[in-house]
Amino acid sequence: MKKLANITTNYPRTIIVITLILTVFFGYFAARVTMTTNIKEFFPQDDPRVMTYDRVEAEFGGAEYIMLALEAEDLFTPETIRNIDLITRDLEQIEGVANVRSLTSVDEIKGTEWGLELSPLVQELPSTAAAAEKLKKKVLADELYGGVLVAEDASAGLIIVEVQPDFDSVALAGVIDQRIREYSIPEKLYLTGTPVLNNLLASSMQQDLKKLFPVVLLIIAVVLFLHFRDFKGVALPFATVFISLIWTLGLMGILGKKLSPLNAVMPIILVCLGNAYGIYLLNRFREESSGDKKRGAVVVAAMIAVGPAIIMAGVTTVAGFASNLFSGITLMRDFGLFTSYGVAIALMVSLTFIPAVLAVLPSRRSVQANKRGGGKTLRLVSGWVVKYPRRIIVVSFLLIVAAVFGLPRLRTDSNFFNFFPDQSQPKIAYNLVKEKFTGSESVEIVVEGDLLDPQLLAAMKGFQDDLKATGLTGEPTSLVNILERTNQAMHEDNPDYKKVPDDEALIAQYLLLLEMSDDRYLSKFVTPDYGQARIQALVKNTSSSGTTGLLAAITALKEKHFSSEAVKVTETGIIVLIDALADMIIEGQISGLIFSMLAVLVILLLLLHSWQGSILSTFLIGAVTLINFGVMGWFGIPLDIVTVLISSIGVGVGIDYSIHIYSSYLEGKKNGLTAVEAVTAAVTGTGKSIISNAVAVISGFIVLVGSTFPPFRYFGILVSLIMFFAATGALLFIPAVTVWQTSRPRKNKKINMEV
């Protein structure tokens, strides 16, 4: 530390210039960072679930849909049908659209007196009310269209836009959103589907952060100013934060990484946490500069005094964030990597750039602002600790027990839909589609085997019927439905023949006939080698519990119907990926927590040289994490891709308070104080820094409560709560246990009475 301190004071200008040059360099790349909400980017590229999904897209065309619902009193009027057709044709022209399915574009298999016809369901737009009424009867009676493309009560129609597999669906959602605003039609339009929500999520999240970020800066500036009462005290920690932010975003830009809903909170985290190191140093600098010492010497003295503690605090925070590297979720690993990098940069800048600037800046009278206030409360606190250690311990354990009971109530939610408030436009559209149609998201089931085999087709039929009967999906469609209709069409539309023929040759010949008629029709359902077929069903309930239930049902039905070894059945779709994400969130959370706890324990052991202090501090932070999850359980806050980050922040940052208290206590003991005296000195002395740091961090994070996104709001509240518990735990629980421990009867029971 002395070496570092000397370097910074001897070559301050060099350090300042190098820091600024690097900042300009990273700043150039930082400007390139964009935002993504593409769910596939959450997974490693070689994840089997993503590969299955990609394969389905490659074999059968897009599996991502943008849904446009059109609401009218009665859909079946010549005007409304014409509007549906106009919109359908218009959307088809947009680049990136693979195809558009709607009442007026969908094909049907029809038997005519001379043969088979694959032709549009609506060949001619009805021009009279009677013709529209006739169409209504026909469409609503057909399970392939009624409830799928047209609501059962004919009050809404659905236009399904299939995105080209390699096209950016989120960008396309933005284009379509713009396009439909230009339509002037009496019918109400609602846009939904995963790409639409992701697009809205990305743009409104950016807006949200743009709005909240300055507020966070302002609040932290105010807190810093109140603490230091001068410009330098605000400017230097701020410079640290900005430099670390620019370097972090710059590294993301260089590595081609994107911001996501998950690491969108990273700038706020860096702002709230990154300034702490500078604060400790500045504090000490002021304390040391009260005499007539030279500036350089003051800087060196301050660094030697608080440098190790700052490093300790920084390293544990880095370890806390690094725990996210254990997650299977790619973006969470990115978050762990970049946040710990950002904190490390803030730490480095605090120990190089700030001392360098301090060494160069002209001297001024120091204001001992931080000496005032807080003293009374802390003396009261230390009084309680000494008097009632057992009560504090009992209350703490009661809290922990209460938290434990909240754990079983904790649920995960990886569904982006829930990021929107209920009254928001996207949620209204989503609920409308859910209510009027069979669903807005699809589950795709790929059947691999000999698809000309009548037995396999019969199994698929049984599977589809049972799936429909669960009530969890709309009408599943596949090659089976096509063959049934073809068979009927080839027998003069006799409904008795609406079944898959029991003759492999006839099946093969029907498929040949369909290929001859329009190969694109078939390609959505079966691969050209007849080796893979897809069953597609729209899903009603896309919440986490809904998807889990559906996937369980599918697994059971798979076993029931596809027992043959020659047949392989795999389910995929956006909702399957979302469900997998929930599992990965849990797995990553558990291993990440174990890692960060162990890492923190090791770091503490190395730095504190005290088993008791290390274990006590680690226990406290474990308890605080538990309380966090307990609160989430009791209040029904789901563990989602944003709130999952809280515990790593809690461990990495919350541990600092314990470190400060315990090292201060050890210092007191070393200086010959009794345990009680040392505890009192620690609480009343270091307690001040802890409180001001906690206030700064909490007031920064609490700003997120103003976000429009529930996960951000929860994030703000929970991080604040964790900081609150970590700080009060450090000021009450650790001292109480220490006092209680040293006063416990060992050989002489009388000591107990003295306390």
Partner 1 sequence: MKKIWIYVVMALITVMSAFGAAAAPESGEVVLAKLDATMKAEQKYMEQEMVLVTASGAERSRTVAVWNKIVDDEEMMLLRFLGPANVKGTGFLMKNDDMWLYLPALGKVKRIAGSAKQGSFMGSDLSYEDMEALGSKGFAQTHQVKGLHETKYGEASVYQLALSPQDGAGSYSQLEILVDQELYLPLQIIYYGRDGQALKKLTTFDHQQVDGRWVATRMQMEDLKKGSKTVLKVNKVDFKATIDDSVFSTRSLERGI
- 230 vs 504 by CB, closer to partner 1: 504
Contacts of 286 (CB under 8 A, 6+ apart): 228, 366, 367, 368, 370
- 355 vs 501 by CB, closer to partner 1: 501
As measured in angstroms, the least distance from the Cβ of 112 to partner 1 is 8
Task: Please give the residues from 452 up to 481 whose contact with partner 1 meets the rule CB under 8 A.
Answer: 452
Candidate residues 218, 394, 401, 512; the one interacting with partner 1 per rule CB under 8 A: 512
* 549, two tokens: 């239930």
Quick check: 531 binds partner 1 (CB under 8 A)?
A: yes
DSSP 308: H
Quick check: 504 binds partner 1 (CB under 8 A)?
A: yes
- 448 vs 587 by CB, closer to partner 1: 448
As measured in angstroms, the least distance from the Cβ of 475 to partner 1 is 26
What string of H, E and C letters represents the secondary structure of 514-538? Answer: HHHHCHHHHHCCECCCCCEEEEEEE
Quick check: 500 binds partner 1 (CB under 8 A)?
A: no
Give the C-alpha distances (Å, rounded to integers) separating 700 from 273, 370, 704, 706.
9, 20, 8, 12
As measured in angstroms, the least distance from the Cβ of 330 to partner 1 is 25
Quick check: 447 binds partner 1 (CB under 8 A)?
A: no
Site pattern 106..145 for partner 1 (x: CB under 8 A): --------xxxxxx--------------------------
Quick check: 222 binds partner 1 (CB under 8 A)?
A: no
Candidate segments 517-525, 565-573, 582-590, 648-656, binder of partner 1 by CB under 8 A: 517-525
DSSP 362: P
What string of H, E and C letters represents the secondary structure of 720-731? Answer: HHHHHHHHHHHH
Quick check: 256 binds partner 1 (CB under 8 A)?
A: no
Please name every residue paired with 66 in a beta bridge, in sequence order, or none if there are none. Answer: 161
User: Are the C-beta atoms of residues 307 and 562 closer than 8 Å to each other?
Assistant: no
* 459, two tokens: 């199994």
Cα–Cα distance measured from residue 445 to residue 290, given in angstroms and rounded to the nearest whole number = 74
- 421 vs 531 by CB, closer to partner 1: 531
Candidate residues 124, 422, 529, 754; the one interacting with partner 1 per rule CB under 8 A: 529
Size of the site for partner 1 (CB under 8 A): 36
Instruction: Give me the amino acid identity at 48.
Output: P
As measured in angstroms, the least distance from the Cβ of 349 to partner 1 is 50
Give the C-alpha distances (Å, rounded to integers) separating 636 from 409, 416, 588, 633.
7, 17, 21, 5
Torsion of the alpha carbons at 457, 461, 467 and 471, rounded to the nearest 10: 160
Quick check: 516 binds partner 1 (CB under 8 A)?
A: yes
As measured in angstroms, the least distance from the Cβ of 531 to partner 1 is 5
Quick check: 522 binds partner 1 (CB under 8 A)?
A: yes
Contacts of 243 (CB under 8 A, 6+ apart): 19, 23, 345, 346, 349, 353
Quick check: 506 binds partner 1 (CB under 8 A)?
A: yes
In the β-sheet with 97-101, what is the strand arrangement from edge to edge?
97-101, 156-163, 65-71, 188-192
As measured in angstroms, the least distance from the Cβ of 576 to partner 1 is 20
What is the radius of gyration, based on Cα positions, of the chain?
32
As measured in angstroms, the least distance from the Cβ of 514 to partner 1 is 9
Contacts of 217 (CB under 8 A, 6+ apart): 238, 271
Quick check: 523 binds partner 1 (CB under 8 A)?
A: yes
Quick check: 98 binds partner 1 (CB under 8 A)?
A: no
Query: CA nearest 243: which of 24, 12, 15?
Result: 24
Quick check: 502 binds partner 1 (CB under 8 A)?
A: no
Candidate residues 44, 421, 528, 745; the one interacting with partner 1 per rule CB under 8 A: 528
Quick check: 40 binds partner 1 (CB under 8 A)?
A: no
* 547, two tokens: 């998807």
Quick check: 99 binds partner 1 (CB under 8 A)?
A: no
- 204 vs 523 by CB, closer to partner 1: 523
Cα–Cα distance measured from residue 16 to residue 475, given in angstroms and rounded to the nearest whole number = 67
As measured in angstroms, the least distance from the Cβ of 599 to partner 1 is 44
As measured in angstroms, the least distance from the Cβ of 155 to partner 1 is 33
User: Which positions lie near partner 1, rule CB under 8 A?
Assistant: 55, 58-59, 114-119, 452, 490, 501, 503-510, 512-513, 515-520, 522-523, 527-532
